[in-house]
Chains A and B, each alone.
Chain A
Amino acid sequence: MRALTLVTCLLAIALPAQAEKGHVHGEGSLEVVIDKESLSLRLELPLDVAVGFERAARNDKEKAALAAAQQALADPALFAPTPAAGCKAEPARIEMPKFDGNKPVEHADIDATYQFRCATPAALKSVETTIFKSFKRLYRLEARRAGPTGQGAGRLTPKTPALTW
């Protein structure tokens, strides 16, 4: 019985309601879906990770930082699926947070969506990212995946920047 309690405690620590990942500075989330020949990635980054603030830009320097972040994220080459799968990237969709004037907000996230068309999706075994090189304030990406072989999760960090399955 004690062992069961122990296991339950471990599990309880392990799984803090996985869906509702809050907004954590330094941590982004990545959703990976493989459906037939399409591979789609949905990236959510706290704005702080990209530019160092979470409010409307106050001066030209901050405006430039926002534009640079948007441009960096718009490059689908940030993510490299298994080369053998022969995936071709479609233009990325970046949604920058909208601010209502200078009204303070609690948190702001950038949403980015990347679409790939893969010639041999069965060969898809991993997605590697160079995002940590572009965004030094990003410490990790919590990735979740759903594909023909099942579901999975992984943690991407600057040292292990690939999700494999």
Chain B
Amino acid sequence: MKAVLRLAALSAWSRRLTLGLTLIAIALAVTLLLAVERIRVDARQSFTQAVSGVDLVVGARTGGVQLMLHAVFHAGTASNNITWDSYRAIATHPAVDWALPLSLGDSHRGFAVLGTSADYFAHFRHGDKEELRFRDGKAFTGVFEAVLGSEVARGLGYRLGDAITLSHGLVERGAEHGDKPFRVTGILAPTGTPVDRTVHVSLESITALHLDWVGGAPLPGVTIPAEFVAKFDLRPKEITAALVGLKQRSDVFRMQRFINQYRGEALLAVMPGVALDELWQSVAMVERTLLAISALVVLVGLAGLAATLLAGLNERRRELAILRALGAGPGQIFVMLTAEGALVTAAGAALGLILLTLGSGLAAPWLLERFGIVLATRLPGSQELALIGAVITTGLLASLVPGWRAWRMSLADGLTPRN
């Protein structure tokens, strides 16, 4: 048996070009299949992990998704702000335990700047109700102080006490708030959520930054030096959204109705967990379609393998006949052919896994920045292993065809000269 497998390997090596191309096709197909599965799983994971313990996300009445994407993942854009008065009305509602105002729109070298209250660090939860922890320093207390997410600090090499300048808007080269630098007072521990890529400042700082701005640009000829901003009323007039925690969970539906029917302004309250579940429900079809397409691509690859092996049989008539003449039984020829197909499939699957790991390493920063999806580099999960198993089994089944053909070839087949 061992000798047969050795012969199969050597024979395969002599035809390495054709088999190599087939192997690459299978590897690419497997990469695609696994990538679809991995992104599906990781997207769910990271969306679910990004916010926990928040009962409601409140914003302007746009769509639940825009609101979630913007408020929690800092992706996309918010169409409208909500007024500070509406926020206060919600925050002081007797059923509300805590409320965190969020003000987005500025950035720092590609990282989102979030204006919020210092309570944010006490109430925000991620993953399995984990609190935010400071790796260094502490929360901001006054204007022009900033707390950095771990990725911001690592990526830009900032330390406590460093001065940073924020830019207006999300463009990397947007107008600078250069006259009002911020001092880093704290750096958060890594969370694996969008928090890592966020610069946190107080709401008052956001107002102060824009004191001498009108209509999205600095007022010409007017500059208010940083040391004078305290003389102004820095209470924000509007915020982007708010995260709300309730005293009693049973109030959540009632509170949602209250906010959605709020008279002062068109508001939207979204239950984050419900929104995500409804999102998965509706994209389930798309996911299944993607998975089905990539499964088809794998099938095409394996069909190519079977075709290559079958076509090869003709060229190998002599080789197989000599083996038979030397005493190999039809069973051994069958095993040899089938093993060759199975080995090529297995090697393709392994190569596909390597490609996936390399590819996901390359795509991870982009996915995190664009969609807030944390693509983890990890060993294949049970679902992925099942897919790989299915691919290898199918490859084995596909290789049975050339194996069976070779078995059926008579001993004399390759020895009788024919035209």
Contact = CB atoms under 8 A, between A and B. Distances in A.
B86 interface: no
A42 B257 CA distance: 14
Contact of A153 (B256, B278, B371): B278
Contacts of A35: 248-250
A100 interface: no
A71 interface: no
B26 to A, nearest CB: 26
A82 B281 CA distance: 23
B56 to A, nearest CB: 10
A24 to B, nearest CB: 15
Contact of B260 (A11, A14, A20, A33): A20
Contacts of A7: 371
Given A19-B269, A152-B277, A12 B253 contact: no
A8 interface: yes
Given A146-B249, A151-B272, A15 B278 contact: yes
Contacts of B61: 17
Interface stretch (B12-20, B62-70, B331-339): B62-70
Nearest to B253: A31
Nearest to B259: A19
Q: How large is the interface on A (under 10, 10 to 19, 20 to 34, 35 or more residues)?
A: 20 to 34
B271 A144 contact: yes
Given A33-B250, A38-B250, A15 B257 contact: no
B296 interface: no
B257 A19 contact: yes
A63 B286 CA distance: 46
B274 A145 contact: yes
B273 A18 contact: no
Given A33-B249, A40-B250, A150 B273 contact: yes
Interface string A121-165: 000000000000000000000001111101111110000000000
A17 B268 contact: yes
Contacts of A3: 370
B250 A17 contact: no
Contacts of B260: 19-20
Given A10-B283, A12-B63, A150-B52, A18 B250 contact: no
A18 B275 contact: yes
B281 A12 contact: no
B340 interface: no
B59 to A, nearest CB: 11
Identify which of B272, B273, B279 gathers the most chain A CB atoms within 10 Å of its CB. B273
Nearest to A10: B283
Interface string B339-379: 00000000000000000000000000000001100000000
B248 A14 contact: no
Nearest to B269: A19
Contacts of B256: 19
B55 interface: yes
A12 B65 contact: yes
**Closest 9 CB pairs between A and B?**
A151-B273, A14-B282, A153-B277, A11-B65, A15-B64, A35-B250, A15-B65, A153-B274, A19-B260
Given A14-B282, A16-B64, A152-B277, 19 more contacts: A4-B370, A4-B371, A7-B371, A10-B283, A11-B65, A14-B281, A15-B65, A18-B64, A18-B274, A19-B260, A33-B252, A35-B250, A146-B273, A151-B271, A151-B272, A151-B277, A153-B275, A153-B278, A154-B281
Interface of A: 3-4, 7-8, 10-20, 31, 33-35, 38, 40, 42, 144-148, 150-155
13 contacts: A12-B63, A14-B65, A15-B64, A15-B65, A17-B64, A35-B249, A40-B250, A146-B55, A150-B273, A151-B55, A151-B271, A151-B277, A154-B281
